Structure 1
């Protein structure tokens, strides 16, 4: 089950955020999707609005790089690299799966700084 949930989440994440495919939201997310990021509205429509905003701001379609994908039952945690506004970002996303769809989401993100205080990789 954990392997299936990893596939569900990584496939959905690539389609929605890598391919910027807003139509994938309805296929991959539950109608009652709960969003814990306070800048995005609950439900699939909040994510569709985010995808449309990213595309309108010139964020390129891209292959998402996953450094870590960890599953524990119905929870999947992603550690990924993403490019927005010409900058590299690192994301930690946590999804809860219900009936084969993304049902709930938490995240944390950081932009790669211009100057680093250490030489340890972020990814």
Structure 2
């Protein structure tokens, strides 16, 4: 496990998505950041636009709840709980770290459904 990469990614994620701190994008992301989420533009500018959109939609600053953090070499996987405008979400984010910067990102997300087919927790 690469504890340093784990710390870099969790600190970046909290500052960017928990604290909604747009300046943290420049602090943690490579200028050549590769985004694999097809709804977000490549580079730091795409993440800044996303954070600005979250703020404009009334998303509150929050302490990100990290359920699982798995680091393997240059890859860090996060399983998090997040609230957006009254809706609870689960995210799985995968980051690649190079030279102490986030250089690449993949994700999957799921909103908590109104009705459930089972009583197992999502988190």
- Tell me which interval the TM-score lies in, with the shorter structure as reference length: over 0.9
Distance in 1, Cα, partners of 2:74 & 2:17: 21
Gaps of 5+ in 2: none
Gaps of 5+ in 1: none
Q: Partner residue of 2:56?
A: 56
Could you give the per-residue CA deviations for residues 7-39 of structure 1, whole angstroms, max 9, x where no partner exists? 000000000000000010001000000000000
Give the C-alpha shift of residue 85 in structure 1.
1.7
Q: Partner residue of 2:6?
A: 6
Could you give the per-residue CA deviations for residues 54-89 of structure 1, whole angstroms, max 9, x where no partner exists? 000000000000000000000000000000020100
Give the TM-score taking structure 2 as reference length: 0.99
SS of match in other structure, 2:21: coil
Number of aligned positions between the proteins: 123
Q: Partner residue of 1:34?
A: 34
SS of match in other structure, 1:107: strand
Provide runs of 4+ in structure 1 moved above 6 Å.
none
What's the C-alpha RMSD, in Å, of the aligned pairs?
A: 0.7
Give the TM-score taking structure 1 as reference length: 0.99
Distance in 2, Cα, partners of 1:101 & 1:86: 32
Distance in 2, Cα, partners of 1:2 & 1:53: 32
Give the C-alpha shift of residue 4 in structure 1.
0.5
Q: Partner residue of 2:93?
A: 93
Matched, 1:115 2:115: yes
Distance in 2, Cα, partners of 1:66 & 1:113: 20
